[in-house]
């Protein structure tokens, strides 16, 4: 469905979509717009196009995250975001640019009248990306933690509670493991020194 021709200018088409959205002062994506953007991201992105993709994302990120709140579009929105999050040339910039809008999207998603399908899609997005890299683990933890502090009632009624509890336990386990190794090393080193000194 989202296949692309063998030869085509994906970043150029994405720029044209960006220009169309700007010129028409659109409030949100329609299905055809997010389909186009998704098709532009089927193939591997080229490092030489880094700055062009950053400019596109900087303007379209609000539309992408807003699409997380529409059950017709949410699955495509997560697919687009995964692709951009895994694009090494712009990963750090995309993550930094996304934090504020991510928090706004959570607030919209967990309002009383939001669609459960959209919430489930977001949770799946977190669960799929969380194990991939420590960078994602820290990023998602901080975002959800900040959301829980800003909107405690929404958080406690959300499907993020169990997920947050799980990653909090994992983080505690990692800290305990590191602390245990540190203590063990401190115990082993003096013994080694005492043996050496006794010779």
Is residue 86 a part of any domain in this protein?
yes
Structure-block tokens of residue 98: 């996304």
pLDDT value at residue 159: 95
Phi, psi of 73 (to 5 degrees): -120, -15
Is residue 194 a part of any domain in this protein?
no
pLDDT tops 80 at residue 7: no
Is residue 67 a part of any domain in this protein?
yes
Is residue 167 a part of any domain in this protein?
no
State the Cα torsion 98-104-106-111 to the nearest 10°: -160
**For residue range 24-79, what is the model confidence (pLDDT) as tens digits?**
999 999 999 999 999 999 988 888 999 999 999 999 999 999 999 999 999 999 99
Is residue 26 a part of any domain in this protein?
yes
In this structure, are residues 133 and 96 in contact, taking their beta carbons and an 8 Å threshold?
no
Is residue 186 a part of any domain in this protein?
no
| Number of domains the chain contains | 1
Is residue 14 a part of any domain in this protein?
yes
The parent domain of residue 56 ranges over 10-159
Q: Is the pTM of this model over 0.85?
A: no
pLDDT value at residue 96: 95
pLDDT band at 8 (very low <50, low <70, confident <90, very high): low
């Amino acid at each position: 469905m989202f296949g692309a021709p063998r030869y085509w200018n994906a970043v150029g088409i994405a720029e044209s979509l960006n220009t169309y959205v700007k010129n028409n002062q659109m409030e949100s994506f329609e299905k055809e717009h997010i389909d186009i953007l998704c098709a532009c991201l089927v193939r591997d992105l080229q490092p030489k196009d880094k700055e062009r993709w950053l400019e596109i994302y900087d303007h379209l990120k609000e539309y992408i995250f807003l699409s997380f709140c529409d059950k017709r579009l949410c699955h495509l929105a997560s697919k687009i975001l995964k692709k951009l999050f895994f694009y090494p040339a712009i990963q750090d910039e995309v993550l930094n640019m996304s934090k504020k809008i991510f928090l706004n999207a959570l607030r919209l998603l967990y309002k009383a009248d939001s669609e459960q399908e959209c919430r489930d899609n977001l949770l799946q997005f977190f669960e799929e990306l969380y194990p991939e890299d420590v960078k994602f683990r820290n990023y998602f933890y901080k975002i959800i933690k900040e959301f829980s502090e800003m909107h405690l009632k929404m958080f406690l009624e959300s499907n993020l509670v169990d997920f947050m509890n799980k990653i909090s336990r994992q983080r505690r386990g990692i800290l305990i493991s590191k602390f245990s190794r540190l203590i063990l090393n401190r115990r082993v080193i003096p013994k080694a020194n005492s043996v050496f000194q006794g010779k």
